[in-house]
Structure 1
Amino acid sequence: MATTMPPARKPLQRKSDVLELLRSETTAWLATGDTGGPHLVPLLFHHNGEVLTFATFANSRTVTNVAATGRARAAIGRHYDVVMIDGSMEIIEPDAIDPAIADPFASLLRGGPDPRHTPGFVYLQLTPTRLQAWRSFDELRGRTLMRSGQWLI
């Protein structure tokens, strides 16, 4: 059975949809890499309007890769409606995280261990430098909505 995709969105609508997705979604696929190749993991995130914040084990391959490169890519959405965010990534120790970020992040865990109070965890903050969004072949052209950290729309 064929699926009919809606018509291509105008750039302003795409940006609006991206911002809504960043407000409503809580899981991203986070990709990092090193000389051993790419590493991809699903992680919870919180977006405060500027950065995406994640938390994971300090001794994970993700953190090792970020320490080596300072770069990452996050993918949010579904295969037919995706947002790809490339950017610089910083490791933040739990005692240095802004409570305005840590509190909403902790609420995502639904009673799970708060990284601020769990030994061996660190935060990762992704500052977007490039953002692409598309939901169909018709949207591949013009999919870059942010470049060098600046919205193009």
Structure 2
Amino acid sequence: MKSIYDFTARDATGTERSLADYRGKVILIVNTASKCGFTPQYEGLEALYRDLQDRGLVVLGFPCNQFNKQEPGNSDEIATFCRLTYDVSFPVFAKIDVNGTDEAPLYTWLKAQAPGVLGTKSVKWNFTKFLVDRDGSVRSRYAPSTKPEDLRGEIEALL
């Protein structure tokens, strides 16, 4: 796989979607969870999306239950939580694994393109963020503690 556009992922309704649908956009990919200390970042992610989507940003949320079981719901419950609690309008996909033998191929590729601190490949916690440029190349990886608003400058430089 050479770019993000070579991957597909199931959306919250279970429909397989090609990430090529986002060709030409700046993409912020985040593994999310609804019962995490970082869950309020949904608000910042949504603010970035609303402010910058007309310029070409898309945020893609990938719920994950691998970290302390902080995303226990099914796709409908997760989508409802995101919509009602944080008014999320960016795409939220079906729950995936981001590490281990059942990890989504997209995350295998993302982690290879942008290793973590000291070259680690594993995603360490919910709300790890990957920034992808308009050409489909991973530009940066951010720790869960990095607030969405702190990414605005780098995102705008890519738009």
Give TM-score, length-normalised by structure 1: 0.31
Identify the structure with the greater strand proportion: 1
Give TM-score, length-normalised by structure 2: 0.30
